[in-house]
Amino acid sequence: MGRKQVNEKDKRKVQVNIRLTDDEYQRVAGYATCSDLTPANWIRKKVFTGKFPAAKILPIESDALRELSHIGSNLNQVVKKINQGVMPREFLPLLVDLLQITVAIKNRINDSESD
């Protein structure tokens, strides 16, 4: 399935480049992350609406959620190796506990986003 075709009048053809300091870029990137947008799309929305795009997640929660996803993936891979007999089965109960804790933390982060 390909990308949706864009009308000719809606195509973005003109490119505008700006230079930012490291601090300015970090601020824009942080705002964009909070709004679940790219920096360019965040700037575009801010410029054309005059308002800050709505924040969907705090940057620290976004980073924590991303890290928890990586940890959960690693735990799943280890559990798979145990089930294949590559690693000792004695690790399995500990890993299952860690996986459940990771899922519980992730759910709490998701619940706090809804509030």
Among 102, 56, 55, 108, residue whose Cα is nearest residue 76 = 102
> What is the band of 115 on the pLDDT scale with cuts at 50, 70, 90?
low
Point out the least confidently predicted range of 1-5, 18-22, 108-112: 108-112
Q: Is the pLDDT of residue 62 over 80?
A: no
Answer with the residue of higher pLDDT: 43 or 2: 43
The predicted structure's pLDDT at residue 58: 63
Mean pLDDT over the full length of the chain: 82
Total residue length of the chain: 115
> What is the band of 43 on the pLDDT scale with cuts at 50, 70, 90?
very high
Give me 1's structure tokens: 């399935």
Residue type, position 5, single letter:
Q
Rounded Cα gap, residues 6 and 35, in angstroms: 24
Please, how many CA atoms are within 13 Å of residue 43, restricted to the half-sphere of its CB?
12
